[in-house]
Structures are given as C-alpha cells and as structure tokens.
Amino acid sequence: MATGDLEWETQAKCRTADPEALFVEGAAQNRAKALCSGCPVRTECLAHALDNRIEHGIWGGMTERERRSLLRRRPTVTSWRLLLEAARTEHAGPNRPLPAQATHRERTA
C-alpha cells in the first residue's frame, strides 16, 4: 500500500468514535452503520475494506456479512476503489463536486 492511501481516515466521521463501537454484533450494527451516514469518505472506507478483504467491523456503512455478500456477487472486481470512484463520478455528473473534493477545498480554505 502506497503512502497516503489512507489519508481519507483523517476525514472519517468515525475518527473520534470509540473503535469498539464499530466492531459490534446484532442490532448494535445498525447503530454503528448510522455513524457512517453523511460521512465524506464513506466510499473510500468501503473500498478499503473490500479491496483488503477486511472481515470484521463496520466499514463504509456495511457490515461484514453485507461485504461478504457483495464480494460473492462480484467476484471479478479487481479494484473496488476504482469501481466505486467511477460510479461516484458518473453519479455526480460534470457540475457536482465529489464529496472528497469538497472536503479538500474546505480543508485548504
């Protein structure tokens, strides 16, 4: 992994949360997933978990079971980061800033 690949972590909404709150089971998972709502780097977080086959915890708003299911449904994906970035770019359109871009502008302002 290249230096700077995890720079997104400093922008994560959960960065100040108790890590134990993200590694829960049962109904507590829904509360943990809610923390991801509105996170500016949710896509990067999910891509990291999928690309690195992280098996435990809530990452990018998905439980380990949800991620395993997604990986089984899409076994030919070689880079979730690239796939999710492309989907986000397509969804955002030419005139809407991507969440990470907006965050970067806010950081440098």
**pLDDT truncated to tens, each residue of the chain (109 aa)?**
343 567 899 999 999 999 999 999 999 999 999 999 999 999 999 999 999 999 999 999 999 999 999 999 999 999 999 999 999 888 876 655 555 544 444 444 4
Q: What is the DSSP string of 14-29?
A: TTTS-GGGGS--TTHH
Each domain of the chain, given as residue ranges in start order, spans 17-108
Question: CA angle 56-47-100, nearest 5°?
Answer: 125
pLDDT in the model for residue 86: 92
Tell me the whole-structure pTM to 2 decimals.
0.77
